[in-house]
């Protein structure tokens, strides 16, 4: 059986049509894998905490799935480590141009988890881009250092920004603005969704029962957070935002024509397949 056909996985297909892009480009986006691991080097307290948190997620990921009307059964009721390894095996099979990991990759930033994630992604054969989530330290292992990271493709760019504390640094804001001034179409990868004025009502309506813990509010955030939302929503260079954090799949517009794709929980088999392509020709022209 192909990995893609495994009952653990469920998929959302997302297509972004961006003028100036050449060819079709497939990306695999996963988020909120919340991996809990321990190894022979782990202290006893570290192992016990990881075991406890892993068992906790067996229940809680089911609750999120039920709340969002998403699949959850025996195939998804597996340890977070096993789920993450299935996700990487799927990426090896699909061979996307890049694997996008939008935060809460680990449940907790701790030495065994950082060793594991570094080893697993180091062995992955393709390109990947990762950002930290609110469950992780902002410098988790060797996988993340402060600063906006970019990957360039044929006619567009993906920029990874750390918004895991519901804000961004002044340095990252300046770097993102500089990228926007270059005019190359940008897809922003971050962890926490953005509630721009246009989509704030959608955030509150669709994310039932969720308050502004679950998104960066264009009014309630700190100054840098507000500027980050305004930049992503207002810059013509930013064509989409890809993120996670809420443990449910949502697609909404930051402003008309600019999607925000919020991935669901990767530890329960959720996968976003993102195709970036040029606009289709208009047959009437």
* pLDDT digits 0-9 by tens, 22-53: 999 999 999 999 999 988 888 888 889 889 99
190 vs 135 pLDDT, higher one: 190
* Residue 127: burial class (beta carbons within 10 Å; 0-12, 13-18, 19+): middle
Percent of the chain at pLDDT exceeding 70: 95
| Alpha carbon distance, N-terminus to C-terminus of the chain | 44
Phi, psi of 36 (to 5 degrees): -115, 120
- Our measurement of the distance from residue 208's CA atom to the centroid of its chain's CA atoms, rounded to an integer in Å, reads 20
Tell me which range, 41-50, 90-99, 132-141, 192-201, is most confidently predicted by mean pLDDT.
90-99
CA distance 210 to 76: 24
Q: Rounded distance, CA 61 to CA 210, Å?
A: 16
Average pLDDT over residues 50-72: 92
pLDDT value for 208: 54
Calculate the average pLDDT of the chain.
92
Radius of gyration of the chain (CA): 18
For 38, the token pair is: 């321990």
Q: What is the DSSP letter of 234?
A: H
Ordered structural domains, the chain, with CATH: 16-277 (3.60.21.10)
Q: Which run of H or of E encompasses 153?
A: strand 149-153
Average pLDDT of the segment spanning 66-87:
95
CA 245 to chain CA centroid, nearest Å: 8
Mean pLDDT, to the nearest integer, of 268-274?
Answer: 98
Residue from 31, 261, 284, 264 nearest 136 by CA: 31
pLDDT digits over 152-161, tens only? Answer: 999 999 999 9
Q: Tell me what pLDDT residue 154 has.
A: 97
- pLDDT, average across residues 194-216: 74
pLDDT bracket for residue 145 (50, 70, 90): confident
Residue 211 has pLDDT above 80, yes or no: no
Q: Is the pLDDT of residue 144 over 60?
A: yes
Beta strand 25-30 with 238-243: parallel, antiparallel or unpaired?
unpaired
Q: What's the pLDDT at 7?
A: 97
Closest by Cα among 36, 28, 33, 35 to 189: 28
Does 285 score more than 60 pLDDT?
A: no
C-alpha of 51 from chain center: 24
Other CB atoms within a 10 A radius of the CB of residue 169 amount to: 18
pLDDT above 60: residue 239: yes
Residue 72's pLDDT is what?
Answer: 95
CB atoms within 10 A of CB 134: 15
Calpha distance 116→122 (Å, rounded) = 10
Share of the chain above pLDDT 90, in %: 75
DSSP string, 67-95: HHT---SGGG-S-HHHHHHHHHHHHHHH-
Instruction: Say how far residue 29 (Cα) sits from the centre of its chain.
Output: 6
**Of the listed ranges 131-140, 157-166, 252-261, the one predicted with least confidence:** 131-140
Q: What is the DSSP letter of 212?
A: G
Residue 39 pLDDT:
84
């Amino acid at each position: 059986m192909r990995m893609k056909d495994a009952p653990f996985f469920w998929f959302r297909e997302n297509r972004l049509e961006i003028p100036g892009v050449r060819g079709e480009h497939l990306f695999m986006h996963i988020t909120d894998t919340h991996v809990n691991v321990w190894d022979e080097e782990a202290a006893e307290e570290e192992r016990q905490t990881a075991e406890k948190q892993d068992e906790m997620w067996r229940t809680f990921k089911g609750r999120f799935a039920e709340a969002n009307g998403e699949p959850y059964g025996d195939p998804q009721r597996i340890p977070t480590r096993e789920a993450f390894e299935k996700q990487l095996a799927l990426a090896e099979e699909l061979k996307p141009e890049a694997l996008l990991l939008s935060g809460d990759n680990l449940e907790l930033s701790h030495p065994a988890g950082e060793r594991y994630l570094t080893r697993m992604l180091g062995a992955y054969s393709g390109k990947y881009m990762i950002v930290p989530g609110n469950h992780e330290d902002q410098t988790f292992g060797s996988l993340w250092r402060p600063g906006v990271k970019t990957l360039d493709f044929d006619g567009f760019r993906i920029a990874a920004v750390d918004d895991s504390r519901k804000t961004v640094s002044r340095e990252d804001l300046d770097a993102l603005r500089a990228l926007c001034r270059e005019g190359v179409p940008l897809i922003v990868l971050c962890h926490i969704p953005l509630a721009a004025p246009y989509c704030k009502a959608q955030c509150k309506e669709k994310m039932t029962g969720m308050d502004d813990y679950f998104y960066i509010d264009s009014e309630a955030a700190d100054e840098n957070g507000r500027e980050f939302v305004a930049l992503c929503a207002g810059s013509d260079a930013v064509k989409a935002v890809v993120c996670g954090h809420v443990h449910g799949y949502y697609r909404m517009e930051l402003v008309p024509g600019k999607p925000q794709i919020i991935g669901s929980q990767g530890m329960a088999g959720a996968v976003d397949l993102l195709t970036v392509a040029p606009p289709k020709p208009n047959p009437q022209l």
